[in-house]
Amino acid sequence: MNVRSSRGPLKASLLLLVMLAACSGEQDELQQWMEQQKREVKPNVQPLSPPKKFVPEAYSANSGVEPFSTQKLTVALKQEAKQPNSLLAAEINRRKEPLEAYPLDSMSMVGSVTKQGRPYALLKVDNLLYQVKVGDYLGQNYGKITKITETDISLREIAQDAAGEWIERTSALQLQEKAR
């Protein structure tokens, strides 16, 4: 074994010990400074105020009409329908069609056919196929089909605007091509 090769690790160990001893002196100074700061700093904590006494109150709105009830909505719709120039008057009094139970975004147009010169659109809703024509109703906003082409269905809908007024608007369903 070579004597020179064993002295390298020994020198490194001694140097490490000297450095650690030098650091311990700085740590003592740091500890003294921390103790001095603890003695000098006086905490200023204001005492908490006692809690206020809770006085329960009886719920008095229980006998009123619930703002989100279907009964209230039905009454409002009937009042709107009684107005002579209302867009909703004719819609409320007619019988609902099956596809009016579904929102438009759950429907997809998958094709179109022509029977006896009349255009029909093929709609897929809940994995069922429906055949619709101009004049049929779709969607939950009283949507009436006004036009059918090979690639889309045009609708007239009656919906409430931000002010609560019933307005007429147009919508469309476009042919959904299969991704390959």
Asked whether residue 1 is domain-assigned, the answer is no
d(CA 155, CA 147): 7
Asked whether residue 151 is domain-assigned, the answer is yes
Q: What's the whole-model pTM score? A: 0.54
Asked whether residue 15 is domain-assigned, the answer is no
| Beta-ladder partners of 166 | 160
Q: What's residue 179's pLDDT?
A: 53
Asked whether residue 56 is domain-assigned, the answer is no
Asked whether residue 32 is domain-assigned, the answer is no
Q: Tens digit of pLDDT for each residue in 31-64?
A: 888 888 888 888 788 889 999 999 998 888 777 7
Asked whether residue 166 is domain-assigned, the answer is yes
| Strand 118-125 versus strand 152-160 pairing type | unpaired
Kindly give, in sequence order, each residue whose CB lies less than 8 Å from that of residue 89, ignoring residues fewer than 6 positions away.
80, 81, 82, 83
Asked whether residue 162 is domain-assigned, the answer is yes
Within the chain, strands assigned E span 107-115, 118-125, 128-133, 137-138, 143-148, 152-160, 166-174
How confident is the model over 71-97, as a mean pLDDT? 74
Asked whether residue 127 is domain-assigned, the answer is yes
- Which CATH number characterizes residue 125's domain? 2.30.30.830
Domain count, the chain: 1
Domain of residue 115 covers 97-174
